[in-house]
Amino acid sequence: MYDFLIPIPILADNYCYILRTDKKAIIIDPGESQPVIDELEKLNLHLTAILCTHHHSDHVNGVETLKIRYNAKVYGPKDNRIPLLDIGLDKYSTLTLEGFPFKIIETPGHTKSHIVFLEENHHILFSGDTLFGAGCGRLFEGSYEEMYSSLHKLSLLNPDTYVYFGHEYTLKNLEFAHQLFPGDAAIKSRLNKTIQLRKKHQFTIPSTLNMELKTNPFLRVHEPSIQKSLDMLNQKEVDVFAKLRQLRDKF
């Protein structure tokens, strides 16, 4: 997509991301260290910053090794569960690293302190475990109201925003959506394309916000067609969201 952005698949289905200049690099959500070190060494890059969306181990387990090896600064939500955190961030924070300007958006739901990073020059959203391809994160700490509000916040961003999420869940999310909404042509079309991508072991990143607005049921709980399929026509959107999330948890 962009030659300065390098996705690194790690663990079972996670992604972490390198943003690079000629000599320096930033890493987002390093759930393990060795694949990141291998990529940095291959490209002769020096890591200067580590960005964390939330504290879960599959997003931060590589932080300590990388910080010690490269003397990189650790940025993340104001949460003492982020290992070796140097600078805590919130919605009022301004952050520019190696020429990349980031807007910090607070997105509680998956965890209480979850944040996402919007790189503003190129309209790139690193959505962690808040927004996935055709899905959203499970609620481990937050409420349905918080997650619904967080997703609504993201839905108002520029529709051309590229979305780089924390896990490769797109196929299963689309299988779930298609089962619930079999007559939805946009979901079916994306499912078919995703099946072909995954058969070739290709990534489903990046998505775009526009694609998510069309095919992600968690961003469409206001639509009568979605509400009707859930037998919740004219119900509160947050209640429709809660029902949808509960069904996905069991899928």
**Residue 222 annotated among the catalytic residues of the structure:** no
d(CA 182, CA 180): 6
**Residue 201 annotated among the catalytic residues of the structure:** no
**Residue 56 annotated among the catalytic residues of the structure:** yes
**Residue 123 annotated among the catalytic residues of the structure:** no
**The two structure tokens encoding residue 155:** 């839905």
**Residue 110 annotated among the catalytic residues of the structure:** yes
Q: Which residues pair with 8 in a beta bridge?
A: 16
Q: Which residues pair with 24 in a beta bridge?
A: 46
Q: Which residue of the set 29, 167, 178, 184 is catalytic?
A: 167
Q: Which residue of the set 56, 114, 178, 184 is catalytic?
A: 56
Q: Which of 106, 45, 98, 47 is nearest to 76 (CA)?
A: 106
Give the number of other CB atoms < 10 A from CB of residue 97. 19
Q: Which residue of the set 29, 55, 58, 178 is catalytic?
A: 58
**Residue 79 annotated among the catalytic residues of the structure:** no
Q: What are phi and psi of 31, to 5 degrees?
A: -75, -15
Q: Which residue of the set 55, 110, 114, 178 is catalytic?
A: 110
d(CA 80, CA 91): 17
Q: Which residue of the set 29, 55, 114, 129 is catalytic?
A: 129
Q: Which residue of the set 54, 55, 114, 178 is catalytic?
A: 54
The catalytic site residues sit at 54, 56, 58-59, 110, 129, 167
